[in-house]
Structure 1
Amino acid sequence: MALVMECIARRSANRAFTLIFLTTAALPGAAFSQAAPLPPTAPALQVVATNATGVDLQSARDTSPSCPTIVPPVASQSIARSVEADDIIRLRDFGKMDASEADPGGFAVSPDGRYLAIQLRQADPVSNSYCQALLIYDLGNVRTAPRIVDMGGDYVRRTITLYGLEGFPTGTPEPLTPKWSKDGKWLAFLKREEGITRLFVTALSEGGTRSISDGRFDVADFAWSDDASQLRYRQRENHAAAIERLQTEGRSGFQFDERFWPLAELTPYPRETPAEVERFVMIGEADTFGGSGSASQQDRMAEEAGRAPTRKGAAVAISDHRQLAARVGDKNIVCQFKECARVAAAWTVPGADEIVFMRREGFAAARTGIYRWALGENKLTNILTTDDAIRGCDFQLLLVCAREASLQPRDIVEIDLRSGKIHQLIELNPEWIARRLGTVTRLRWTNKYGIETFGDLVLPPDARHDERLPLVVVQYSSRGFLRGGTGDEYPIQAIAAKGFAVLSFDRPLDYRTAMSRAGRSVSRRHIANAWTDRASVHDSLMRGIKLAADTHPIDADHIAITGLSDGASTATYALIHADIFSLALISSCCEDPSILETGVGEAYASILRTNEYPLPWEQHKSSWKRVSLAMNASRVCAKIIIQSADREARLATASLRALRQFGRDVTMFIFPDEYHVKWQPVHRQAVFRRTLMELDDWRRLPKARCSR
């Protein structure tokens, strides 16, 4: 969707502009039609040498394809075989790692519905880097090879604002999503080179790409004007200025305060900075302009994004409580159907008084439902209900979405809004079709608190129905493709291929949220002090393991648990409160109060106090003993392998020391230059291989016995 922009500008001696942005939003109304050849003509791209700041604008460097497998083959000639770790590492990806329904999809359909542009990435452990490419598919002939628009560029790691710390790095990829101009003649996209994320454009008729943003600052976002004459973008100038101020401050020493995250480093982060400056370039004109809008104007632009007019001018909106509503003129119409609650994404239907929306529903909200709401008739129609995860949709007459199924990596599908049929448009990993996959059984259950959850039991491809198998628990989301759990560190199909049963466990809804939805009032302090949510997750986990054992014979002496982040917290809690696990493979560790209260940082400690966690911990030892591995080291019997990012390894030191004091079998590996989610392909490969090796050794040994 493009945002309409009108600006009033006054030229001054230094070429700065005062801009007023008025925003609306519109969805393209074209439907899929018979594809035509790429248009023969389009206006030439003309950009002058300098922008408003006087900085040279450089053309993108010529790049040549250097990644032989980044472009998906039209048909795979792969020989059928079992899944190996590298098969999962080298899958072609796009969009956000753990995408939700409303996240950017990583692809864009042209306004006339004829072409689809997508930014692909593929991990390469050999070079410890990523192959990346921008491709255009002809949707009228998807069985032909795509057009390669651009290749290369650096992996773009996503940054977030965490507890007020701006620019906090993560290992997950930024969901790069190209955008078409409203006339379909231009395509804009982001690419990172030499440490800077720049904005590029290409003319569909001519090929070639050109950078049009200031090369000194990262571009954070961009949008086309409604008439395709302007391309607006926000670059992180204020953030860069904040970093410079920190460097100046460091000359006389930093004052230790809430800006620090000492768990990872001893340089402060900027606090949240003002809204970034917005600039624009003229396309097809002989000049390049820049200017800025106020924070309130940018907030309004963000608010309006995603709204689109129906035939009567209605706009769709989703409230903070996820209740669907339509605005017609000055009148708000709230959808009263129960299915209109907790809506994840919504679109208006061009030329009709209808709204299409998506929600999670069913037992434990494990299914995806798509509905059509007719405003005039106030009629609701279910279009589709599926176990597949549907994400990042681009709406024309047909809904084009990213889709994942339990055994299907993310692909591109179209959803017919009348019939509800799903049709695969683009298979991005055709080699996967030849892999021999383990069978998947969906399990559903309710814990003692009445909270629903689910999991998937994956068995080896050739498992006999009476064969007793060792069990490996992978956490903590089981929606979509069963890849490697949260963080993608424990390769489910590769583990199953080695003869293990795998329980992919989906974490139940947070206890407080579940009680609120059930209309029950609960004390935040009691939940925090009793660690009720942890107890709820643990009860769900234990019931899920029992249900898995009831479904297929399990070797009770060989049950292993894995996990990252909240999954690691579930694992360590389970080691304290249950004795069924003989191996734990975790990627972060641990919830020990002496580290959490002092070692993570003032910002995090403030959050703990706000949520009424039992602090100072010395006065609440009985509470912390429920979750602290260090305080329960004498009772832990399982072998523990920790594979931690260097920026989080200090969290494990108290537990590591205590476990070793009691002679427990614990080993920690630390990966350099890593984040909460590991981003380097060679490190993910090492974690995969070590996991498979440890599991293979463990299954051959009797269960260790120790007193509790």
Structure 2
Amino acid sequence: MHSFVKTLLAAGAVLLAFSVPAHAETISPKRLLEVVDIGNPVISPDGSKVAYRTEQASVERNTYDTIWYVQELGGDSPPHRVADGGLTLRDSAGQAMPAPATWSPDGRWIYYRALVDGKIDVWRAAVDGSGSEPMTLDAANVRDFALDADGRVLKYSVGATREEVIEAEQAEYDRGIRIDSTVPLGQNLFRSGNLEGRLATQRYGKVWFDHAPLLADRPDRWTAIDLATRKRRDLADSEIPSPRLEPSKLNPDAFKLASDPQSGRVALLVRTGHGYGLLYKPYVELVVLSGPKDKRPVRCVSELCTKKEITGIQWRPGGDEVLFTVTDPHEGTGQSIFRWNVGSGQVRLVVQARGLVSGGRDRSSDCGVSAEALACVVAEADRPPRLERIDLESGHRQVLFDPNPALARDMAASAPSQLLRWTDASGEEFTGWFFPARKKGDSPSPLFVTYYSCTGFLRGGVGDEWPLASLAESGISALCINSAPYHIDAAVRYGLGLSAVESVVAKLASNGEIDRTRVGMGGLSFGSEVTLWTLMKSDLLAAASVTSPVTSLNYYLLGSMKGEQFFSGLKKLWQLGAPDKTLARWKMLSPTLNLDKIKAPILMQMPEQEYIHALDYAIPLIREHRADLYVFPNEPHQKFQPKHKLAAYERNLDWFRFWLQGHEDPNPAKAEQYKHWEAMCDAQKTNRPDSPASCVGTKSKRQPL
């Protein structure tokens, strides 16, 4: 496919490569997985062009293809492929990291970090597509880089060399690895996790359970390259680029900033209001400082920017306007972009979208910006991403690049979504995106629910593991619920999740849209926590699926090795201490001590780095034919290998069709899977006659749909 696309691009027909009709008519899990994502749009210094990168999974090769494009911002010509982007750089949780390009001042080149052949270098690509090349060629992976103001010198930083890291790993292997508070327990200790494009030995980083390679604490070493002569020299401390200004250094409640390179002014987003038990203050204030030492901020006081969930800020080049993005929870996290004139105080709407309008999949990522226009990635729950030009004065929108037209058409025809709004008995407001089941007849459909965050194109909830559109096409309505504000008290925040599910099930059932006796639920991380809480505290679910471990005695034992950082986090966010000291709280929260309350079958598809934390409740459930556990090697918190993701997608689809519809895929390769589930079904009927599961027994008893 890569060679085919390259040939078409050379012929000037890039759009054709992405508009070939799909072979399958349905919205299959594979089609959802292989969506072309767009990210990191950056506009050239003269405002005439935009550079951006695409990313697409390849199941067959178990990798992601990334390509850098440059396109005229007027949209009169198709995008021009200028370089491969290398392997996707990811954080230790498995999420893709932003990788924006830096334009040369003359607009002839873009510079970007890329992971190619196991090395992270700064690359340079010619905007006319004539070629790309690595510029740094360092023995260590590049951590950061910057161009000087005239584009003649490239400065970059590195840590330990790749050879030094490999030697440190081997030395540990040979001597034995000493277990201390930095060692991630519950996974293989030698080269077991993907970091910087290779299986590496890991250590805990500075934040909770994040991971880092060996020697990650090696201080930065900065080098300068004269781009005309290619000569290198080490930088003196006085020449090193200033570190990025941290928002909290300017205001303890600030969480995001944007600096105006021309005036030195700084725009800040500051959390305000009374928390009332929330982890974060409920409102966001937009302010501008004349400089980092300014103590008299200018505040945006318009009703359009007060008591709003502002998630992004940028300066409009060459003027006095700050562009800010509001992510509206009442609109299912739909986004709007406004411009605020700091001098006059006037605020005007630029664009209002049904979904994301940002710089990628992250709702807080930045659009490309020039004095006249934005270049934004736009995506809705039922429409895959495309790149749009948005005029800052008129708000006029123009699609520059749509790499997923066939999927967009099929989603519109087969799996359109609806925004739901509802309140629970206490008056708490919720929103979610609902994919009604395609069904035969008038009988209510089963329902699948996931709870956490529902932003952008919904291919499967947070973590992308539950194919919502595929479920709907198979006759199971699917709903993604946006979580309530995050309460510090774990029982309160879990209770809100349960209340959201209970109230929306009642709403949909009363309208005759779903069958309240056939409800399934799944989630990752916080979504897994709420799913297990719903299992323990209600009889609402007929089947469940989780990917992440939750608080358990095993989790406490393994995490306790981290010491005070773990204990303080556990106390703050779960109000848990040592099990023998806070036993009542453990009995309330942990599934380990509530196995008798779990009545529905559970599918567990967990990453190798985490599954061991769940074994003290998973093993008893497996032994009693109440759970089925699959573990994916070398995967972190969010699985990312395409083959693993497709397997999880397809198994979740099979799982909920089995338990909510009594359906089995006749594919012989899945016979062993159904053999296990049939045994679970028989055990449910024999040992737990009160179970809400709606399977109907063994295969010989089951009637085809």
The answer to whether the superposition gives a TM-score over 0.5 is yes
Per-residue deviation, 1:398: 0.8
Per-residue deviation, 1:204: 2.9
Contact 1:223–1:233 under 8 Å retained in 2: yes
1:457 is matched with: 434
Equivalent of 1:541 in 501, 512, 516: 501
SS in 1 for 2:260: coil
Q: Give the AA of the match of 1:638.
A: A
Distance 2:632 2:203 in 1: 23
1:686 is matched with: 647
Q: Against the structure 1 CA distance between its residues 189 and 432, is the aligned structure 2 distance closer, same or farther, given a 3 Å change threshold?
A: same
1:367 is matched with: 334
Alignment of 1:180-219 (within 5 A): 180-205=103-128, 207-219=130-142
Equivalent of 2:60 in 122, 126, 129: 126
1:352 counterpart = 2:319: yes
Distance 2:150 2:239 in 1: 24
Distance 1:409 1:174 in 2: 20
What 5-or-longer segments of structure 2 have no aligned partner? 190-200, 207-216, 251-256, 273-283, 360-366, 663-680, 692-705
Contact 2:36–2:404 under 8 Å retained in 1: yes
1:82 is matched with: 26
Q: Give the AA of the match of 1:403.
A: V
Q: Against the structure 1 CA distance between its residues 250 and 687, is the aligned structure 2 distance closer, same or farther, given a 3 Å change threshold?
A: closer
Deviates more, 1:72-81 or 1:692-701: 72-81
Contact 2:125–2:133 under 8 Å retained in 1: yes
1:472 is matched with: 448
Distance 2:347 2:470 in 1: 43
Per-residue deviation, 1:294: 7.4
Equivalent of 2:83 in 133, 147, 150: 150
2:72 is matched with: 138
SS in 2 for 1:127: coil
SS in 1 for 2:259: coil
Per-residue deviation, 1:407: 1.4
2:610 is matched with: 648
Distance 1:694 1:386 in 2: 35
1:324 is matched with: 286
Q: Against the structure 1 CA distance between its residues 669 and 68, is the aligned structure 2 distance closer, same or farther, given a 3 Å change threshold?
A: farther
Q: Give the AA of the match of 1:409.
A: P
Per-residue deviation, 1:442: 1.2
Q: Against the structure 1 CA distance between its residues 362 and 225, is the aligned structure 2 distance closer, same or farther, given a 3 Å change threshold?
A: same
Contact 2:388–2:400 under 8 Å retained in 1: yes
Q: Against the structure 1 CA distance between its residues 131 and 660, is the aligned structure 2 distance closer, same or farther, given a 3 Å change threshold?
A: closer
2:589 is matched with: 627
Distance 2:512 2:150 in 1: 61
Identity rate, percent: 23
Q: Give the AA of the match of 2:336.
A: G
1:57-88 CA-to-partner distances (Å, cap 9, x unmatched) read xxxxxx97788899653672416932111111
SS in 2 for 1:73: helix
Per-residue deviation, 1:649: 1.3
Distance 2:569 2:173 in 1: 26
Q: Give the AA of the match of 1:497.
A: E
Per-residue deviation, 1:274: 6.3
Distance 1:460 1:365 in 2: 20
Q: Give the AA of the match of 2:61.
A: S
Q: Give the AA of the match of 1:618.
A: D
Equivalent of 2:144 in 203, 218, 221: 221
Q: Give the AA of the match of 1:125.
A: V
Contact 1:449–1:536 under 8 Å retained in 2: no
Per-residue deviation, 1:556: 2.1
Q: Against the structure 1 CA distance between its residues 337 and 594, is the aligned structure 2 distance closer, same or farther, given a 3 Å change threshold?
A: same
1:337 counterpart = 2:302: yes
Q: Give the AA of the match of 1:173.
A: A
Per-residue deviation, 1:679: 1.2
1:558 counterpart = 2:495: no
Per-residue deviation, 1:116: 2.2
2:38 is matched with: 94
Contact 1:445–1:544 under 8 Å retained in 2: yes
Q: Against the structure 1 CA distance between its residues 538 and 196, is the aligned structure 2 distance closer, same or farther, given a 3 Å change threshold?
A: same
Per-residue deviation, 1:423: 2.7
Contact 2:38–2:377 under 8 Å retained in 1: no
Distance 1:153 1:355 in 2: 34
1:287 counterpart = 2:231: yes
Distance 2:475 2:660 in 1: 10
Contact 1:65–1:152 under 8 Å retained in 2: no
Contact 1:441–1:457 under 8 Å retained in 2: yes
1:73 counterpart = 2:38: no
1:595 counterpart = 2:555: yes
Equivalent of 2:628 in 661, 664, 667: 667
Equivalent of 2:222 in 278, 281, 285: 278
Per-residue deviation, 1:289: 3.1
Contact 1:364–1:453 under 8 Å retained in 2: no
Contact 2:338–2:348 under 8 Å retained in 1: yes
Q: Against the structure 1 CA distance between its residues 284 and 190, is the aligned structure 2 distance closer, same or farther, given a 3 Å change threshold?
A: same
Per-residue deviation, 1:581: 0.8
Distance 2:415 2:584 in 1: 44
Distance 2:8 2:547 in 1: 30
Distance 1:610 1:202 in 2: 48
Contact 1:279–1:289 under 8 Å retained in 2: yes
Per-residue deviation, 1:628: 2.1
Distance 2:45 2:134 in 1: 23
SS in 1 for 2:580: helix
Distance 1:214 1:338 in 2: 52
SS in 2 for 1:651: helix
Q: Against the structure 1 CA distance between its residues 590 and 240, is the aligned structure 2 distance closer, same or farther, given a 3 Å change threshold?
A: farther
TM-score, normalised via structure 2 length: 0.78
Distance 2:515 2:451 in 1: 20
1:453-472 CA-to-partner distances (Å, cap 9, x unmatched) read 211111135677x4410101
Equivalent of 1:500 in 464, 476, 492: 476
Per-residue deviation, 1:577: 0.7
Alignment of 1:226-241 (within 5 A): 226-237=149-160
Distance 1:319 1:560 in 2: 39
Distance 1:381 1:359 in 2: 13
Equivalent of 2:414 in 437, 448, 468: 437
Q: Against the structure 1 CA distance between its residues 333 and 285, is the aligned structure 2 distance closer, same or farther, given a 3 Å change threshold?
A: farther
2:379 is matched with: 404
Per-residue deviation, 1:684: 0.9
Contact 1:641–1:668 under 8 Å retained in 2: yes
Distance 1:132 1:234 in 2: 24
2:41 is matched with: 107
Q: Give the AA of the match of 2:81.
A: I
1:183-234 CA-to-partner distances (Å, cap 9, x unmatched) read 2111112221232211111233572112111432222232322211122223
Q: Against the structure 1 CA distance between its residues 280 and 359, is the aligned structure 2 distance closer, same or farther, given a 3 Å change threshold?
A: farther
Distance 2:506 2:163 in 1: 53
1:706 counterpart = 2:689: yes
Distance 1:697 1:206 in 2: 51
Distance 1:270 1:75 in 2: 41
Q: Against the structure 1 CA distance between its residues 580 and 659, is the aligned structure 2 distance closer, same or farther, given a 3 Å change threshold?
A: same
1:269 counterpart = 2:203: yes
1:6 is matched with: none
Q: Give the AA of the match of 1:678.
A: K
SS in 1 for 2:544: strand
Distance 1:600 1:588 in 2: 18
SS in 2 for 1:625: helix
Q: CA RMSD in A?
A: 3.3
What 5-or-longer segments of structure 1 have no aligned partner? 1-62, 96-105, 160-168, 513-526
Distance 1:217 1:65 in 2: 34
Contact 1:236–1:276 under 8 Å retained in 2: yes
Alignment of 1:296-307 (within 5 A): 298-300=242-244, 306-307=258-259
SS in 1 for 2:504: helix
Per-residue deviation, 1:680: 0.8
Distance 2:426 2:239 in 1: 44
SS in 2 for 1:618: coil
SS in 2 for 1:509: coil
TM-score, normalised via structure 1 length: 0.78
Per-residue deviation, 1:560: 0.7
Q: Give the AA of the match of 1:640.
A: I
Q: Give the AA of the match of 2:445.
A: L
2:275 is matched with: none
Contact 2:329–2:431 under 8 Å retained in 1: no
